[in-house]
Amino acid sequence: MKFFKSPPVILALVTLAAYGFLVPFTGFYWDDWPFAWIAKFQGPYEFIPGFMQFRPFLGPIFYVTTSLIPPQPIYWQIFALIIRFAMGLALWWSFGKIFPAKKQLALVASLLLIVFPGYSQHWVALTHINQELIPFIFYVLSFGFTFQALRSEKKLKYTALAILFQILGIFPTEYFFPLESLRFLLLFFFFADGNLIKRFVTTFKAWRLYLLIWISNAAWLFYYYKFGPYDSYEASTFETLGISNLLIELLDTIWKACFYIWIQIFTLLAKSITAPTSLLAIGLILVSFFVFTRLLPLLNSEDEDKTFSIYLIVTGFISILLGRIPSLAAGLPLRLQTGYDRFMVSMLIGAILFAIGVIELFIRNRKIKSYVYIALIALGIGQQFYTGNIFRRDWAKQKEFYWQITSRIPALTPNTVLLAYQLPTEYEPDLSYTGPINWMYAPDFSLGDDLPYALIFTEKRIGGSTLPALTPDSPIRFKYRTTAFNGSASQAVVIYMPVNGCLRVLDPTRGDADIYAKEPDALTQAIPLSNPNLIIANPKIPAAPTFLNEQAPVNWCAYFTKAELAYQLKEYQKTVYLFDEATALGYKPEDLNEWLIYIEALARTDEIDSAREKSLALLNQDSRMKRGVCVVWKNLEAQNVNAAQFQAPLGCNQ
C-alpha cells in the first residue's frame, strides 16, 4: 500500500482515472488533422517553414515530436497521457522547491493541475501537446530551478537551467508571456525579510536575468506582430474593446477561473443526468473520492498560516488577470467546454493557487480541508471523463463520415472541391477535414505539389477569400501551411450528411435542390454546382481511411452509400438489390429521404406498383415527405417513365 501512496504513483493513478479509460476510443480533432497530414506526407521538417508565419519557435517542437511519434491517433492519445502526467510531476517538483515546507500542498496543486476542469482540450492531443503543454512544462521547470538556485551552492548551474527552460517556455507561444509575472510574485514572497522597499529591491535583483529574457521576448513579439511575417490573429487594443466590455470580460474571467470551473461538472451533469455518460461520470467521481481518501492522508503536519493563504489568493488572482491578456488582446472569448478554453492554460496555475489559498484560509478543520481537496480532484476526474466522452462521440461520427464518403466516392478527379454546408461533428472545421480527404484520395501526394482536393464549408466561407461566391468559375483558393489548394467552383461535388442520416452526394439533375429546399441557402445554392461525374466509380485502388486501422461497419449507411453510387451509374437493379438486402437484414434509415432513390429505382426497373406502394407507405409514415416523393414522380414523368397516373393519388397535383 505504501507504493500506491508515493506522489508519482498517485499522480499516475489520477491521470489514468481522468483520461485513461477513453484513450482507445478517441482520435484526431481540429488542427490535429492538418498537422498529422503534414507529418505523414510532407515530413516532420516541414513544420519548420510551416510555422514561420505563425509561431516560428513552435516548429522545432513539432519537428521533434512528429519525428518520434507516428501520425496515428492512438499513439498521440497515449502520448497525451504521458505529457499530462509529466505536467503534474513538473509542478509537484517545482512547487516542492518553491515551498519546501508545504510538500503536501505541492502534491495537491499538481493533482489539481492534472485534472484542471477549466481546460477541456486534452484530447486534441497532437495540437495542444506541442502548442501549449510542452512549453508549459518547460516554464514550470524554470520556476523550480529558479528556487533551487536560491537554495543551492550550485547557483550558477541551476540559474542557467532556469533561464534555458524559461526561453523554451516563453518563445514558442505568446500564451505564456504573462506567466513571467508569477515568478516575480513567488520571489517577492520568498524574500520575506525587511520592509517592502528592501524586499522589492532584493526581488528585482534575483529576477533581473529573467526580466531580460522577458523583455527580449516582448521585443520579439512586437516586431513579429507589427513588422514580421506573422499571419494569424489580429491583435486589438483595450481601447478598441472599450472600458465597459473590458470590465465585463475581466469579471467573466474572474468568475470562471476563480470559482465556476471547480463546480462546472454539476451544470454539465444536470443537462443530462440520466444519460449513460453522466451516470458513468457520477460513478467515477464517487469511486475516485473513496479511493483517494485512502491514498491521500493530506495535511497531517503543516502548520496553519493565514499570511501564506492570503499570499496564494493575491498571487493567484493577479496571475489569472495577467494570464487573460494575450487572448483578450486578440479579441478572443473565454468560453468553457469549447476550443476557446485553451486560453485557460496561461491562467491555470493562478487558478490553482487561488483555490488552495481560499480553502486554506477559510477551512480550519484539517479533515474537512482534506476532503474538500479530494472532492475537487474527484470532480475534476469526473469532468474530464465527461468531456472525453464528448470527444469520443465526435470521433465516432468522424469515422462514420470517413467510411461513408469512401464508400460513396471510391475515387475523385484531381483538383475537385467537396462542398458541404457543414458536417455533424463539433470540433472539426472544413480545413481540418481537408487533411484526411487528401490522405484518403491522394495517398501518393508528393512534397512540393499543390493540394489535389479540398473540403469547404459553405456555411462559413461564402463571400470570403476562400469561396467568394457560389457561382461557376468562382475561384477556391487557400494556403495549407506550406502548400495550397487552387480550384474552382466549376469542379465541385456537393455532399450532405445530416446529424441523423447517411452521407449523400447531391445531384442537381435528380431534383435535390427542390427536395432540400427547406435547408439553409448556403446548402441549396451550392447544389447546382455539384457534378457527380467527377466521381471515379471503379478505380484500381479505391480510397480508404487507412488511418483508422479498423474495418468499416456493416449497417444501413454502408448499404445506402453503395446504393446511391449504383443509382448514379444508372445501375437501378443493383440499387434495388442493395436496399432490399439491407431491409432483410433489419437495417433501416434514420432519414426518410434516403428512401427516395429506392422509389425511383423501383420505377425504373418496371416495379412501378412497388414504387407506388413504397411512396404511400412513406407518406403515411411522415406527411412531410410529400415534397421529396412528388419530386421523384415528376422526374420520372419528365423522363418518359409511365408515372403521371400515380401523381394524383399521391397528392402531387395539389
Radius of gyration of the chain (CA): 29
Position 402 in a domain: no
Q: Quick one: pLDDT at residue 228?
A: 58
Rounded to whole angstroms, the Cα distance separating 23 from 77 reads 6
End-to-end CA distance of the chain: 79
Domains held by the chain: number: 3
Position 548 in a domain: no
Rounded to whole angstroms, the Cα distance separating 312 from 304 reads 13
The HSE-up count of residue 27 (CA atoms within 13 Å, CB side) is 23
Q: 308 and 173 in one domain?
A: yes
Would you say residue 152 has pLDDT above 60? yes
Rounded to whole angstroms, the Cα distance separating 533 from 541 reads 18
Amino acid type, 600: E
Would you say residue 302 has pLDDT above 90? no
Position 370 in a domain: yes
Of 279, 456, 294, nearest in space to 374 by CA? 294
Rounded to whole angstroms, the Cα distance separating 179 from 63 reads 25
b vs e for 603-617, b when ≥16 Cβ sit within 10 Å of the residue's Cβ?
A: bbbebbeebbebbee
What separation in angstroms does the CA of 270 have from each of 97, 252, 277, 335, 638? 41, 22, 12, 19, 54
Rounded to whole angstroms, the Cα distance separating 253 from 337 reads 14
**What's the chain's length in residues?**
654
- Calculate mean pLDDT across residues 609-633: 87
Residue corresponding to grid cell 458541404:
420
Q: 141 and 22 in one domain?
A: yes
Count CB-CB contacts under 10 A for residue 447: 12
User: Quick one: cell of 547?
Assistant: 488511418
Of 547, 617, 418, 620, nearest in space to 37 by CA? 547
What separation in angstroms does the CA of 154 have from each of 147, 150, 319, 456, 547? 12, 9, 29, 57, 49
Cβ 597 vs Cβ 586: under 8 Å: no
Q: Quick one: pLDDT at residue 301?
A: 47
Position 400 in a domain: no
Pairing of strands 411-412, 416-420: unpaired
Of 421, 417, 438, nearest in space to 492 by CA? 417
Please list, in sequence order, all residues whose beta carbon lies within 8 angstroms of the beta carbon of residue 640, skipping any fewer than 6 positions away: none
Angle at 348 between CA 271 and CA 208, to 5 degrees: 165
Q: 523 and 599 in one domain?
A: no
- Calculate mean pLDDT across residues 410-436: 94
User: Quick one: cell of 260?
Assistant: 465556476
Of 412, 601, 590, nearest in space to 503 by CA? 590
Which of 471, 504, 538 lies at the terminal end of a domain, its last residue?
538
Residue-wise pLDDT for 272-295, tens only, equals 899 999 999 999 999 999 999 988
Q: 625 and 519 in one domain?
A: no
Domain that holds residue 424: 409-538
Position 240 in a domain: yes
Rounded to whole angstroms, the Cα distance separating 27 from 210 reads 39
Cβ 478 vs Cβ 514: under 8 Å: no
Of 247, 253, 237, nearest in space to 335 by CA? 253
User: Quick one: cell of 408?
Assistant: 460513396
Q: How confident is the model at residue 645 (pLDDT cuts 50, 70, 90)?
A: low
Please list, in sequence order, all residues whose beta carbon lies within 8 angstroms of the beta carbon of residue 192, skipping any fewer than 6 positions away: 199
Of 386, 316, 381, nearest in space to 355 by CA? 316
Q: 258 and 152 in one domain?
A: yes
Q: 451 and 561 in one domain?
A: no
Position 543 in a domain: no
Q: How confident is the model at residue 197 (pLDDT cuts 50, 70, 90)?
A: confident
Would you say residue 499 has pLDDT above 80? yes
Residue-wise pLDDT for 546-604, tens only, equals 999 889 999 999 999 999 999 999 999 999 999 999 999 999 999 999 999 999 999 89
Rounded to the nearest 10 degrees, the angle between the axes of helix 572-584 and helix 556-568 is 170
User: Quick one: cell of 233?
Assistant: 490573429
Q: 370 and 442 in one domain?
A: no
Q: Quick one: pLDDT at residue 628?
A: 87
Q: Of all helices (H) and strands (E), which one includes residue 485?
A: strand 483-488
Q: Quick one: pLDDT at residue 570?
A: 94
Q: Report the percent of the chain where pLDDT is more than 90.
A: 69
Q: How confident is the model at residue 407 (pLDDT cuts 50, 70, 90)?
A: very high
Cβ 140 vs Cβ 106: under 8 Å: no
Amino acid type, 177: F
Position 545 in a domain: no
Count CB-CB contacts under 10 A for residue 366: 14
Residue-wise pLDDT for 240-254, tens only, equals 567 888 888 889 999
Q: Quick one: pLDDT at residue 296?
A: 78
Q: 612 and 484 in one domain?
A: no
Q: 414 and 377 in one domain?
A: no
Higher pLDDT, 647 or 451: 451
Which of 492, 509, 538 lies at the terminal end of a domain, its last residue?
538
Q: Quick one: pLDDT at residue 365?
A: 85
Angle at 554 between CA 610 and CA 592, to 5 degrees: 40
Angle at 271 between CA 265 and CA 273, to 5 degrees: 80
Q: 578 and 440 in one domain?
A: no
Q: What dihedral angle (degrees, nearest 10) is formed by the CA atoms of 406, 431, 492, 636?
A: 60
User: Quick one: cell of 527?
Assistant: 447544389
What separation in angstroms does the CA of 407 have from each of 71, 314, 589? 23, 59, 17
Report DSSP state, residue 456. Answer: E
Domain at 571, CATH number? 1.25.40
What separation in angstroms does the CA of 437 have from each of 33, 184, 186, 373? 10, 48, 49, 46
Cβ 441 vs Cβ 411: under 8 Å: yes
Which of 366, 393, 420 lies at the terminal end of a domain, its last residue?
393
Q: What is the pTM assigned to this prediction? A: 0.92
Q: 258 and 220 in one domain?
A: yes
Position 546 in a domain: no
Would you say residue 149 has pLDDT above 80? yes
Q: 51 and 192 in one domain?
A: yes
